[in-house]
Amino acid sequence: MSESEPSSVRVDGDTPTHAMTVRLDDRAITVAIGTTLAQLLAREGRAQDAVATALNGRFVPRAAREATPLRDGDQVLFFQPIVGG
| CATH number of the domain that residue 65 is part of | 3.10.20.30
- Alpha carbon distance 37, 63 (integer Å): 11
pTM of the model: 0.76
Residue 82 φ then ψ, to 5°: -95, 125
Question: Which three-class secondary structure state does DSSP give residue 63?
Answer: helix
pLDDT at 10: 43
Domain of residue 67 covers 19-79
Question: Which three-class secondary structure state does DSSP give residue 8?
Answer: coil
49 in any annotated domain: yes
Number of domains in the chain: 1
8 in any annotated domain: no
pLDDT at 84: 64
**Which H helix or E strand runs over 40?**
helix 37-43
* Tens digit of each residue's pLDDT (9 = 90 or more) over 6-64: 434 344 455 556 899 999 998 999 999 999 999 999 999 999 889 999 999 999 999 99
10 in any annotated domain: no
61 in any annotated domain: yes
pLDDT at 11: 43
56 in any annotated domain: yes
